Structure 1
Amino acid sequence: MKKSIIKSLQYTLNKSTDLLTQIDSDSYINNTVGPFYSSVGSHIRHTLDFLNCILNSIENNNDIDLTLRNRDEAISKNKYKAIEEVDSIKNRLDNIKNIEDIVYVIDDCGTGKIGINYTLESILAQANSHTIHHFASISFILYQLNIDYEIKGFGYNATTPIPKRKGI
């Protein structure tokens, strides 16, 4: 039961891979959709940077400082590198042993850096929701570009009632 968030996060990450195998490289890097002019690749990169920050920190017994993410731009430009990174993160998640551990998380929530105590389980749950949120942004971009894909529930939180969902 305690590893259920890891399985949920891996399930969510599988949707990244599903998407990346369905769209072409030009669609992955297309940043012509306003108002933010971001690409599918930039959203994937952002979610993977978030997860890598968490994993790198716990693997090195450090605080999790979300303001110090790596921001690997190669991932935003190369969907195959993104697929490799997704696979790496899924494997690293399997190595987590003490999901109930308290971790100190540093972030800037709009007024400067603050530190918050989390359980590792709760920061991973936040990462899962964060990834799904970015899937919704990705869905908007792909819709604007008239790019079709088929991934059940992509961009929707699991708690969204199915009758409220469109296009799945």
Structure 2
Amino acid sequence: MKELIISSINDNLNNAVALLDAIDSKTYSDDSIGPYYSSIGSHIRHTLDFFDCIISGIDTNDIDLTARKRDEILSTNKEAAKSHIHTLQGTLLSYIDANTDYLIHVTDNMGQGKVTVNYTLESILAHANSHAIHHYATIGYILNQLGIDLKIPGFGYNPTTPVNKREGI
């Protein structure tokens, strides 16, 4: 199961690379679209932060999703983001043969303070992948509002969305 999850994540991250290859740097950092005025780059950075928290905490069994790096270079420089994605993909591949038969402590803020819950590596990675898809959907909205028509099949759609509804951006 872990191999399938990591393969799915890496395919999803490949969609982000395809997006970055298809847009220019100005579009990547454009934060003119309301209501949140966030850029495509800020959404890419945020999804990468989530994965980075997993990688940073896996060895100590203490993944803290509130301890995000928020590296602004990833928000503004699409080449840096692509490089980071490729590094992340390699790291994820290294987990395929890792022993993960234990519970991992994951901390997040649910809106009323931090809480730590137990996950498996597979469950936190699946959660991170769903989180990325959610942000890809927001990126699709931003592109639409900017009048940019791209076609990356399935981008921003959950795989459970019926195929006839899952066109991608």
TM-score scaled by length of structure 1: 0.95
Aligned to 2:143: 142
Across the aligned residues of Structure 1 and Structure 2, the Cα RMSD in angstroms comes to: 1.3
Q: Deviations over 1:59-102 (max 9, x none)?
A: x3240011111111110000000000000000000111134431
Q: Deviations over 1:10-69 (max 9, x none)?
A: 1100000000000000000000000000000000000001101101111x3240011111
For residues 128 and 79 of structure 1, the distance between their equivalents in structure 2, rounded to whole angstroms, comes to: 20
For residues 2 and 137 of structure 1, the distance between their equivalents in structure 2, rounded to whole angstroms, comes to: 27
* 1:3/1:99 contact within 8 Å kept: no
Aligned to 1:77: 76
Percent identical: 53
Aligned to 1:67: 66
Aligned to 1:109: 110
* 1:134/1:155 contact within 8 Å kept: yes
Aligned to 1:157: 158
Gaps of at least 5 residues in structure 1 are none
Which aligned segments of 4 or more residues in structure 1 are displaced greater than 6 angstroms? Answer: none
Q: Deviations over 1:92-140 (max 9, x none)?
A: 0011113443100000011100010000100000000000000000000
Gaps of at least 5 residues in structure 2 are none
